[in-house]
Amino acid sequence: MPIDVHHEVTGPADAQVVVLSGSLGSELAMWDRQLDALQGYRVVRYDLRGHGRSPVPDGPSTLADLGGDLVALLDRLEVERASLVGVSLGGMISLWTAAHHRDRVDRLVPSFTAAVMGPPESWRKRAALVRAEGTGEVADAVIGRWFTPAFAEREPAFVRAMRDVIAGTPRDGYASCCHAIETMDLRDDLGTITVPTLVIAGEADPSTPPAQGAAIAEGIAGARFRLLRDAAHLGNIEQSELYNAALVAHLEEGS
């Protein structure tokens, strides 16, 4: 069953809808640096199930479960079609939705993400660790992949705050979403996606390296690929100006 995820909506009620889906271990505030660039749009941000202020699921979740949450959110907001923008796990959710609910998607921007993540046992181990010890046990390792050392040196207080978000994520919620990544394989779905797609990757992303993004772009007919330099896994934050320019150009292309 879908979960009624916590969400925030900004922008004109009659504007084009853009849904922002975040990464594992994040909250909707990870999109703060996109809001000014998207002022002309109706922007929907939400916390993934088990994250932030969203309810924690009972047991493991699949990517279809998370995609179902997104579609249910569109239904609650009475949105027929939206452009989907997602980072990391949010990108996987956006890809799944574009493949399985094509009539609900206008444009697609999967970012710093992958169609398949391995090895599966690493995600099982991470889920088990988090359930046993809490998300604080993985926070340092995760934050080290989210941002380059140069960004961490420039904005240490911000990076510490983001680490606290990871450590504050409910252990069962985080572990539930780990299962979605463990069991996820979107490679056969890519060829069914028909909406205009821009794939964005970070040159310094150790979690989903550029080759992963390039493979997504190759699998979707007509998709374009953009590589951001000096960006790790959360390049929408680290290189927000470049990311926003590419995002808005793609959204405006169809208007």
Angle (nearest 5°) at CA 125 between 67 and 179: 15
Average pLDDT over residues 42-47: 98
Nearest alpha carbon to residue 78 among 34, 6, 14, 22: 14
Residue 30 and residue 22: Cα distance in Å, rounded?
Answer: 7
Angle (nearest 5°) at CA 8 between 6 and 72: 55
Helical residues (DSSP H) of the chain, grouped into ranges:
63-76, 89-100, 120-133, 136-146, 149-154, 156-168, 171-182, 210-219, 235-238, 240-252
Residue 178 and residue 191: Cα distance in Å, rounded?
Answer: 25
Residue spans of the domains in the chain: they are 7-252
Q: What is the CATH number of domain 7-252?
A: 3.40.50.1820
- State residue 255's pLDDT score: 57
pLDDT band of 35, cuts 50, 70, 90: very high
pLDDT band of 118, cuts 50, 70, 90: confident
CA distances from 133 to 50, 57, 130, 170, 175 (A): 17, 18, 5, 11, 11
Predicted confidence (pLDDT) per residue in 156-200, tens digit? 999 999 999 999 999 999 999 999 999 999 999 999 999 999 999
Cis omega (within 30 of 0) for bond into 110 = no
Tokens of 147: 């941002």
